[in-house]
Amino acid sequence: MAQLVIRDLEVSVEGESGSLEILRGVDLTVNSGEVHAIMGPNGSGKSTLAYSIAGHPKYSVIGGSVTLDGVDVLEMSVDERAKAGLFLAMQYPVEVPGVSVANFLRAAATALRGEAPKVRTWVGEVKEAMSRLSIDPAFSERSVNEGFSGGEKKRLEILQMKVLRPKIAILDETDSGLDIDALRIVSDGVNRVKGEQNLGIMLITHYTRILRYIKPDYVHVFAGGKIVEEGGPELADRLEEKGYAQYAKA
Amino acid sequence: MSSALPTEYLTPTGREEAWRFTPLKRIAGLHDPAVSVVDRISIELFGKARAGFDISTAKASELPARSITTDAIVQRLRSEVTEVLHLKIDNEAVVSEPILLKRNAGGSGEFSRTVITAGAHSKASVIVENTGDGIIGEEIEIRVEAGASLTFITLQEWGQNAVHMGRHHAIVGRDANFRSITVTIGGSLVRLLPTVEYSDQGSAAELWGIYFATDGQHLEHRVFIDHGIPRAKSRVNYKGVLAGDGARTVWIGDVFIRHNAEGTDTYELNKNLLLSDGARADSVPNLEIETGEIVGAGHASTTGRFDDEQLFYLMSRGISMNEARRLVIRGFFTEIVDKIGDEVIQERLMTQIDSQLEKLGA
């Protein structure tokens, strides 16, 4: 059992006109095996929450805490957070020219497992994971995310989540830019990993569409840099109907 | 630009356009007639002779240079060198494995002239490996005859005190393909002139290069493509990394499209990655066009720092900062290193690139 605990998190970002506070006291607990949907309008701070937990240098934590199984995450470097069991599937995965998908996955698995995975089992493991996500095996030799379509990038994120075996995953708008077929493939992949690895998931999304494929246990509405309402799956249905306008002044 | 016209042979002072970036104090008198320089063939074939090519020596007077140069060191070495090494690839020969030439340069100043002739319709790859702490002024003239395809690779894996002033000039014939890959990692001061002229139509040249300068290294590449013939093509792509105090690189990319060179197709690119303060990269692409009747002519040059987003992405997968930097730099160079086509050499170069990084504690 893993537990990610976010308490009263306040985060600012350095802008051209000085420091801007984006997160204004976020409280959230994610346990293994749970799916938490974080929903909210654009600009509400959802992605800032994701990047802050992963340790992106652009964001400064000015208050509150984030712990994983009681250990302070905010003290950790970016790679240490991944080693502790956190994973961020990014909304805009980054292109890394000249670094092949195969090399990248192997370097990451080696870092996370503390030793290079055995070649014989590793190749099979990656191949199977790729095939289940309908990723062409030829992608292994391509540079990470370079020239990938939006859907291909998102599938590569889920592939990484599968082979890197995190405890808690944050999926930042993994559904954005996916057509219905790609959404189904990606959602199946997420559900499979969750089932196999008892993954805890923080699913950040603007739309309710993905929640038809990945069933949330809890829904949190995010507005103005904090959670303004919480509930079960039924809250998502209400949002579908009424939209975010009711939270605009939050 | 009158680069193809001979000028007087004058000792450079450092004020000339061609020498303004070069630290003349560090070139051990190779440019100065008052300092004597040994005349010796310093390149030899590594491995057994094989079918398809022949190596011999000739009197300099019997194998005069066919190209014109304004470079003071090359002019001087041409006047002093008495014997020339000649690598001749037979007409229509297809030499499957690369022909490996190794240089053993001494510790005092030396001049060397080499001619490589790729016979008509031949296909081969030649590698020149430079190691040790030589002080060398050299010219390699590469004659790519009609229909031939030649890959010419030079590896500057010099020791930290080496000084290397070189001109690698290709004369590309009708429908011939010339490809060069220049790798400069070692050496205290390296100044190379990878230059190309075309002797007939339908010819093509691709010039690739990588360089990696750390503390105190001065690595200079002055490319010149002289389009004086219609319907020839050129592509230039050099990539450099600089790190550490006083690391210095210079890349000049001169392309000259003469009035009669209609149908020319050229593009040149230089990218530099600066890893630390105190390093300086000069990048000067220069295109001079005398005719508008061309297929295309362009150039681009960028000098930037590490992409923080790339590092964040790699580290968010558990990869350490040092390993992430290593991956990004290997990735930066891979595009060009992979063109060498010899996995042993490619891996060796990548290992040297890693050790350049390690020297920096990165």
pLDDT, tens digit (0-9, with 9 covering 90-100), for A63-110 = 999 999 999 999 999 999 999 999 999 999 999 999 999 999 999 999
Interval B22-73: pLDDT, tens: 999 999 899 988 899 999 999 999 998 899 999 999 999 999 999 999 999 9
Interval A116-127: pLDDT, tens: 999 889 999 999
**Which whole-number Å values give the CA distances from A89 to A39, A85, A86, A213, B313, in the listed order?**
16, 13, 10, 17, 10
Q: Does residue A15 carry a pLDDT above 90?
A: no
Burial A206-228 (b: 16+ CB within 10 A, else e): bebebbebbebebbbbbbbbbbb
Q: Do the Cβ atoms of A82 and B314 come within 8 Å?
A: no
Residue with more model confidence, B4 or B282: B282
Pairing of strands B38-39, A226-231: unpaired
| Residue A186 to residue A178: CA distance in whole angstroms | 9
Q: Which residue among B308, B310, B315 sits closest to A79, beta carbon to beta carbon?
A: B315
Distance from CA of A55 to the nearest CA of B (A): 8
Q: Do the Cβ atoms of B331 and A98 come within 8 Å?
A: yes
Strand order through the sheet with A59-68? A18-31, A3-15, A59-68, A71-72
Average pLDDT for chain B: 93
Interval B299-341: pLDDT, tens: 999 999 989 999 999 999 999 999 999 999 999 999 999 999 8
| CA-CA-CA-CA torsion sign (A80, A84, A87, A88) | negative
Q: Does residue B251 carry a pLDDT above 90?
A: yes
Longest dimension (CA), chain B: 64
Lowest mean pLDDT among A15-19, B58-62, B350-354: A15-19
Interval B96-151: pLDDT, tens: 999 999 998 877 899 999 999 999 999 999 999 999 999 999 999 999 999 999 99
How high is the pLDDT of residue B63? 97
Kindly list the residues from chain B whose CB atom is less than 8 angstroms away from the CB atom of residue A57. 308, 312
Q: Do the Cβ atoms of B318 and A96 come within 8 Å?
A: no
Backbone dihedral region for residue A173 (phi beyond 0: left; psi -120 to 50: alpha; all else: beta): left
- Cβ–Cβ contacts within 10 Å for residue A161, how many? 25
Q: Give the residue on A whose Cα is nearest the Cα of B336.
A: A98
How high is the pLDDT of residue B361? 63
Burial B341-352 (b: 16+ CB within 10 A, else e): eeeebbeebbeb
How high is the pLDDT of residue B9? 57
Lowest mean pLDDT among A2-11, B100-109, B211-220, B327-336: B100-109
Distance from CA of A221 to the nearest CA of B (A): 26
**How many beta-carbon pairs under 8 angstroms link A with B?**
80
pLDDT band at B6 (very low <50, low <70, confident <90, very high): very low
Lowest mean pLDDT among A28-37, B28-37, B148-157, B206-215: B28-37
Residue found under tokens 């790339």: B310
pTM for the whole structure? 0.89
Residue found under tokens 């558990």: B318
Interface of A with B (CB under 8 A): 54-57, 77-79, 81-83, 87-88, 90, 93-99, 103-104, 107-108, 111-112, 143, 160, 164
pLDDT band at B262 (very low <50, low <70, confident <90, very high): very high
Q: Does residue A202 carry a pLDDT above 70?
A: yes
Kindly state the average pLDDT of the residues B74-102: 96
Question: Residues of chain B with pLDDT > 70: what percent?
Answer: 97
Report whether B176 contacts B198 (CB < 8 A).
no
Q: Do the Cβ atoms of A79 and B334 come within 8 Å?
A: no
Q: Does residue B1 carry a pLDDT above 50?
A: no
Give the distance from CA B169 to its chain's centroid.
Answer: 9
How high is the pLDDT of residue B7? 43
Q: Do the Cβ atoms of B318 and A83 come within 8 Å?
A: yes
- Cβ–Cβ contacts within 10 Å for residue A43, how many? 12
Q: Give the residue on B whose Cα is nearest the Cα of A88.
A: B316
Q: Does residue B5 carry a pLDDT above 50?
A: no
Structure tokens that stand for B345 in this block:
């050499």
How high is the pLDDT of residue A250? 45
Kindly list the residues from chain A whose CB atom is less than 8 angstroms away from the CB atom of residue B333. 98
Helices first, then strands: H and E counts in chain B = 4, 19
| Residue B119 to residue B140: CA distance in whole angstroms | 16
How high is the pLDDT of residue B210? 97
Average pLDDT for chain A: 94
Question: Residues of chain A with pLDDT > 90: what percent?
Answer: 88
Mutate to test the interface with B, among A94, A103, A165, A170 (most CBs of B within 10 A): A94
How high is the pLDDT of residue A17? 83
- Cβ–Cβ contacts within 10 Å for residue A104, how many? 23
Q: Do the Cβ atoms of B328 and A99 come within 8 Å?
A: yes
Mutate to test the interface with A, among B208, B269, B314 (most CBs of A within 10 A): B314
Kindly list the residues from chain A whose CB atom is less than 8 angstroms away from the CB atom of residue B330. 98-99
State the DSSP code for A209.
Answer: G
Distance from CA of A85 to the nearest CA of B (A): 9
Kindly list the residues from chain A whose CB atom is less than 8 angstroms away from the CB atom of residue B308. 57
